[in-house]
Structure formats: structure tokens, C-alpha cells
Amino acid sequence: MDGFENRDRNSFQTHEDPSGEDRSFENDQSHYRYKVNPVSQPYEDRYDDLKTSSFYNEGYKKPGKGKLKGLLVPLLIVALISSMITGGLVASYFTFVSPSINQPEARNGSSGDNIVPENTDVKRVEIVNTTETPVVAVAEKASPSIVGIAVKYAYSDIWFGQHEGNGQGSGIIYRSDGYIITNNHVIEAAMDGDSKNKISKGSSIKVILPNHVDEPYDAVVIGRDAKTDIAVLKIDLTDLPAADFGDSDKLKVGELAVAIGNPAGLEFMGSVTVGYISGLNRSITFDDGKSMKLIQTDAAINPGNSGGALLNASGQVIGVNSAKIYSGGYEGIGFAIPSNIAREVADSLIESGYVKGRPQIGVTIDLRFSEEIAKMNGVPYGVLVLDVSPLSAAFRAGIRPGDIITKFNGASVTSFYELEAEKNKFKAGDTVEIELYRMPEKGKPSDGTYKTVEITLDEDQG
């Protein structure tokens, strides 16, 4: 490296030179001194070597004797300026390497350990002091509020009898008195099929706090809602660090998004991933036919993240992580339930055990009915009613099994999901009109008639 090094004030700078003289200069900023050590061959001969090397070109000017000091000064000025940049936040140390090859060993017996490989510019940057990024602040604020969910469930099969399974997910401390928000699908396997909020025999749900990982707490289910995939658990503790919730309606595409949860289980508890808000109000239909409007993000969301938090730059929960696209060729497409929906559902579950105000018609739909079947039978394509619940809104309005619902409050519907979407625009107690096609009791289906009935929606307490 020709012995050249940049240091702080009053440090020494050395450079090889054939004269062997000590030279120094100083200004009002620093004092520089460089010592010139004899080399193993005259400078003129070294220049001749350069002329034949691959680094020689027509623009190269032969340096004259006594010019070395003039070459060194600009480098020292650059080094001095770089030490003043950013007020000392970053201290930079530069090593300048001349474009030479086969540098001879010094006559003083130097081993050549300090020789830098040919044509190499080395820049070493030392971070002296930095300002923390927003992600660090978000993680420090929100991480104590993100918990682990451990689920043990019992199941049986016809060949081997009773078995035990395990699952893990994430949760968010919603209230300091022990209420935890998570996904319904995280705990669903442990639930009793005959009771909405009862844990089945032989199953358990435990909450693991980040500061007490070896001391899981038994949880009870306060309420759960499959339609929004939100569930609320309760543990017998107080003074918990409740998360700060933000307004998901104010989100904008491109905002910072930080996901915190337990991907791959509790071994990676509290993992932080970072991305952006990629999209809003994404309509996603799952394998079970359930459709939801979700926040899309490219922050990594993996199995075990479900029920964890999606946060904004202020460390506020703006979504509950729920799903991602698993498919070859796709990466970074994850989804979260908007925080405003999660809060509304959680408050209702805590208060009454179900989502209050949700409308219900009172019919069971035959999902086998298709456009092809409708054409074959000469009937309109719509939503075929398979059954009507006794004393329900549909029963009171005179809707019968076999009726085909074609419009809900003026909007055409051809599937259960379209009917659900239109119905959910209203609340329990609202009155709407339903247009339906009724087949005659006897005769051809094509002889049926259209009817319009008025229906007052019930409250869904399921």
C-alpha cells in the first residue's frame, strides 16, 4: 500500500520515496508528517515497469523527481474533508492503492505483508454513531404486546383411534386485563364442534408471553368468528402491555409495514419482518369459500405469523396477519385483516360472545346449483334455497325451499358469496326486497313465476 494511511489529528502519514527524507507540513486543521522509506529499485525503473504493464496508457504522464509531495497533498485534503462529513456520524478510513504490480520488497527486510492485491481500491467504513431506524423503534414498542399461541388438540381416525396434534400461532394483547386477539383458524382445531366457544375434551390453548416463555398461561375462548377469522382469548393476568391500535381506513399504498409474530413456531418467537402496504381492500376467497377484504403486504408472513400484528411506522397495529399466497413463482404476497374490522369484532365478542348486528336471512343454500343445471331445467340462474329455518326472517317473508333468489335489494346474485356480500351491506333490523323465482308445485319448471318479497333481517347470533 506504499505505506500510506489516513489517521486523526497529530497522527503520522508515511509514504515510500527513494530519497529517504522526513517531510512534514501543517495547517490550521491537522499536522501531517510522512516518512519516505527507500525502495528496492529506483523510481525511474519502476516507472519503466509501469509503461509495459496493463495499467499503462497514452494518458499516463511520467512523474518527475520531487513531485511526490504534490501528489500526496490532494489525497491528504480528500482524507481531511471526509473526516468532517456528517458531523462525525460516520468516520471513513480510505486506503489508496497505486495501480502497480509486482511491487518489490523493501531493502529493510519487510516481509511484504502490507501489500494490497493489484488493482484493488479498498474502502473501510466504521459506523461511529447512528440514529435508530423507524423499524427498531416499532419493534421495541410493539414486541412486548405480541404473544405466542400453543394449541394442543385431540382427534381420532377409524384405523388408529385417538391421537394428539399440536399447532402454534401468534396473538396480540388487546387489553391489559388479559384479552388476546388471534385468528380463529389458529385455535379452531381445539374447539368442541357442539359448542361455539368451548374447548374440546383433551385439548388446550395456552398463551406464551415474550418475557415469560417458559411459563405458558391457560386460555379460555371468549368468542370467535369464522367469517372474519377473528378470535378472542382470555388469560388470568392483569397489567399486560396492550398494543396500540391504529386506523386502518387511513392506510395508503406504499406505507411502511412491519410484521411481528412467530413464523415456524415459538422457536422464532418475536420475529420482525419489514415491507410496505402493497394493496388495500383485496377480495380474497379461501378454500372453504369464505371471502374477505384484506390488506396486502410484502412483509414476510409465514405459518406461525397468523394472529400476529401488522404495524405502521408509529408502532400501531393496522392489521392482524392472516394469510399468504403459497404458489410457485409468487413471493411476498401476504394479507392481514384490517385493524378496524378486528377491533369491531373483538369488542362485540367480548361484550356478547358473538358479532352483534350482523344480518341473517335464515336460509340454507344448495351450492351444487350451477348455471349449467339452470339451463338444463329451463330456470333462471341464481341462488337455490335448500332449506328455510323455522321462524326466521325468510320464513316470515314466505320464502320456501326450492325458490331461486335472483336479486337482493335490486342487485343480481348468482352465488352464495354474492348473496352474502349484498346482505352484509345491511344490518340486523333493516328491511330489504328479495326477488325470487318460484317453480310451480306441479308441471314444468319453466312455468314458474317471479315474486318480490319484503324481508326484515334477523341478527345472526351464530
What are the catalytic residues? 185, 229, 306
Strand 90-95 vs strand 122-127: parallel, antiparallel, or unpaired? antiparallel
Closest CA to 455 of 381, 356, 363, 354: 363
Contact 47, 100 (CB under 8 A): no
Strands (E), 39-121: 90-95
- Written as one string, the DSSP assignment of 351-388 is HHSS-TT-EE--EEE-TT--HHHHHHHT---SEEEEEE
Q: What SS3 class is residue 232?
A: strand
Grid coordinates in use for 191?
374447539
| Dist CA 289 CA 222 (whole Å) | 25
Burial of residue 99 (number of CB atoms within 10 Å: 0-12, 13-18, 19+): middle
Residue 114 grid cell: 502490507
Those residues with Cβ within 8 angstroms of residue 135's Cβ, 6 or more apart along the chain or in another chain: 256, 258, 272, 274
Q: How many other CB atoms are there within 10 angstroms of residue 58's CB atom?
A: 4
Cα dihedral: 292, 298, 300, 301 (round 10) = 0
For residues 396 and 230, what is the distance between their CA atoms, to the nearest angstrom? 31
Taking the C-alpha atoms of residue 298 and residue 274, their distance in angstroms, rounded to an integer, is: 8
Q: Please report, as a single letter, which amino acid is at residue 48.
A: D
Residue length, the chain?
462
C-alpha to C-alpha distance for 55 and 51, rounded to whole angstroms: 8
